Structure 1
Amino acid sequence: MNKHKITGVYSAAATPLNADGSPDLGLFTEHCQRLLSEGCHGVALLGTTGEANSFSSSERKAILEAALKAGIPADKLLPGTGVVAIQETVDLTKHALSLGVTKVVMLPPFYYKGVSDDGLFTAYSQILEKISDSKLHLILYHIPQVSGVPLSVPLIGRLIEAFPDTVVGIKESAGDFNNMQAIIAAYPGFSVLAGADPLLLPLLKAGGAGCITATSNLVAGSLRTVYDKVHDESGAEAVETAQARINAYRTLSNSYVQIPTIKAMVGLKTGNPAWKRTRAPLMPISDADYTSLADAYKTLP
């Protein structure tokens, strides 16, 4: 039996837009269904790659509701619900729970920088006490290079101790493998999920639980191969091939501004240029970069 409460390959799903900048709910749900069919255990919608912090609460709720209405099972959805205001985070999380979605990914309140562990502990505690729902499984979101607010290993321990049945995992998107190993060592059974695709393989070998990544929008099947076969000696060659493919797609997506590039690459994969649209302040990939990206995309394994 797996000791982790949350395991597997989850896609940090990109959010397509209509020409007027509103979320394209039909294209989004089609994308979610494709991700699941390609091997994702679930879809982590409304995260960094999904441009969540550029959407209003009502838009975020509509996107989650659309996924469920399209038949995506509630237990396969991990929406991001952490925003700057505590009460709004509570509201978004309660909304998810009301729809049967019990797993969420939660940023800390991130506007004020240099805040103490005591301040972050108090914020998360107030959020969870206001929600007060035993069904909730919370994945902390550590992405200090974007949020500016790191979650320290001792803080994670305080939250696990205070809310042992609720705080069950972390998306570690700092890309610091040593930090991932420190969390695994300190808190056995706590689900550590890689936010960087190339780290899924070493993380699983170190006792991690899986990943929530951007490149899974493109290579979900390869990530699933790594997850399924990492401990199977007979699958070593398949894992090596899958890892090389993951790294190639990740390297190309990081050759330009990542989120617009991931979206453009989904468009190249599906033949739908509508995927190039982004919401300001992010801008679509330039025409010149798109041309070189499309040429490079053709050469990927």
Structure 2
Amino acid sequence: MSVRLEGVYAPVVTPFRADLTPDPERFIAHCRWLVEQNSGLAVFGTNSEANSLSVGERKALLEGLVENGVPAARMMPGTGCCSIPETVDLTCHAVDLGAPGVLMLPPFYYKGVSDDGLYRHYSEVIQQVGDARLRICLYHIPQVSGVPISLPLIERLIAAYPDTVVGIKDSSGNWDNTEAMLKAFPGFRIFPASESLFARSLPLGAAGCISATANVNPGAMHRLWSTWQAPEAAGLQAEVDRIRTTFARYPMMIAAMKATIAHYLGDPCWRIVRPPLDEFPEERTRALVDELARAGFDMPGLQREPA
């Protein structure tokens, strides 16, 4: 039986060592904590610094998760690259390891490309992977990729590959676009990029969300997703909105989340980001942590792995 892609997913932040190589031990520990908090693992998404990682680094980290007992069924790895061969390589690897779905950026270097060109790209990837187990969630983040995924393109891909192209992450930040997707494609697994949209998106059939702040607040977000029709949902929505809004005030969100994890673990190595990103400043970390404390924020169960 195939795994249903739904719920809260974290685009898992990637820890680095002082020499800027990926740190698999910290990565595994963080993924284990996220799974314990009922979060899925959208490893190698935007907040994972995925496009600062090589194909080999991504494959090694994913293999390390599986080899150390992190369930592949909870994973939706990012596999979209500019080149078809790299996308096929990462996608085949994820499918072979048992991931029930992959999150696939469009080829993002060339701008102004046509829907026909994007369709041929996705079609070629699907044909070359050639595996009936493949399930793709498209990744629409035009403000970063510069390559939008239009509704007509989605419709065309669903018509051609109904069992393969099964969903999309909408990171446009445009509610009108998200709403249009939800209304146009009932049953399609649509994941807004913010838990703050749950009150509007879940009644229209959204599958959940793939949100940066799931890295630090997964338990509360899962409770909201699983009880959104219950009387307490409004209160839970207000709580997660407050945390989301707090992080949104700090534009270096990847670095801010890493600094938050470093603080709650007492582990300064978690602050490291790979260039060209910059580490979150110490003085801003103190301000962020103080603001989170006033909001009653915590990261329950977070434990530093023994050396």
Q: What code does the residue aligned with 2:117 have?
A: G
Q: Report the Cα distance in structure 1 between the residues aligned to 2:4 and 2:166, rounded to whole angstroms.
A: 7
Cα drift, residue 169 of structure 1: 0.4
Distance (whole Å) between structure 2 residues aligned to residue 224 and residue 279 of structure 1: 29
Matches within 5 A, 1:55-74: 55-74=53-72
1:252 aligns with 2:250: no
State the partner residue of 2:6: 7
3-state SS, counterpart of residue 215 of structure 1: helix
Structure 1 segments of 4 or more deviating over 4 A? none
Count of matched residue pairs: 293
CA distance in 1, matches of 2:203, 2:58: 35
Verify: 1:138 aligned to 2:136, yes or no. Answer: yes
Name the aligned partner's letter for residue 263 of structure 1: K
> Percent of aligned positions with the same letter in both sequences?
44
Which residue does 2:31 correspond to in 1? 32
Task: Compute the displacement of 1:102 (Å).
Answer: 3.1
Shift of the alpha carbon at 1:218?
Answer: 1.2
Would you say 1:156 and 2:159 are equivalent positions?
A: no
Where do 1:110-125 residues align within 5 Å? 110-125=108-123
SS at match of 1:60: helix
Structure 1 residue 107, shift from structure 2 partner: 0.1
- Alignment of 1:209 onto 2:217: no
Deviation at 1:287, TM superposition (A): 2.4
Distance in 2 separating the partners of 1:88 and 1:24:
22
Provide, for residues 127-173 of structure 1, a one-character-per-residue CA deviation record: whole Å limited to 9, x for no partner: 11111111011000001111111100110000001110000000011
TM-score (norm 2): 0.92
CA distance in 1, matches of 2:195, 2:259: 18
Q: Which residue of 2 aligns with 1:300?
A: 295
Q: Is the 8 A contact 2:82 2:107 kept in 1?
A: yes
- Tell me the SS of whatever aligns to 1:49: helix
Once residues 149 and 66 of structure 1 are traced to their aligned partners in structure 2, the CA distance between those partners, rounded to angstroms, is 32
Cα shift readout 1:81-124 (whole Å, capped 9, x = no counterpart): 00111111001101112212231000000000111111111110
Candidates 229, 238, 243, aligned match of 2:237: 243
* Unmatched 5+ stretches in structure 2: 297-307
Structure 2 match to 1:286: 281
CA offsets per residue over residues 57-84 of structure 1, 9 Å max, x none?
Answer: 0001011111111211111111100011
CA contact (8 A) 2:260 2:285 kept: no
2:183·2:204 contact (CA, 8 Å) conserved in 1? no
Whether the 8 Å contact between 1:108 and 1:141 is mirrored in structure 2 is yes
Distance, in Å, in 1 between the alignment partners of 2:46 and 2:126 is 22
Alpha-carbon distance change, 54 to 172 in structure 1, aligned in 2, over 3 angstroms: same
The unaligned stretches of length 5 or more in structure 1 are none
Which residue is 2:21 aligned to? 22
Give the aligned partner of residue 262 of structure 2. Answer: 267
Which of residues 124, 137, 140 in structure 2 aligns to 1:126?
124
Residues of 2 paired with 1:261 and 1:249: CA distance? Answer: 13
Q: 2: distance between equivalents of 1:288 and 1:73?
A: 38
Shift in Å at residue 264 of structure 1?
1.0
Q: How far is the alpha carbon of 1:241 from its aligned partner?
A: 2.8
How far is 1:178 from its partner? 1.6
TM-score normalised by length of structure 1? 0.94
Quote how far apart the aligned CAs of 1:300 are. Answer: 2.2
What is the alpha-carbon distance in structure 1 between the residues aligned to residue 217 and residue 291 of structure 2?
A: 16
RMSD of aligned Cα (Å): 1.4
CA distance in 2, matches of 1:295, 1:229: 29
Where in structure 2 are the equivalents of 1:150-229 lying within 5 Å? 150-229=148-227
Q: Deviations over 1:34-73 (max 9, x none)?
A: 1111121x11100000000000000010111111112111
Superposed displacement of residue 190, structure 1: 0.5
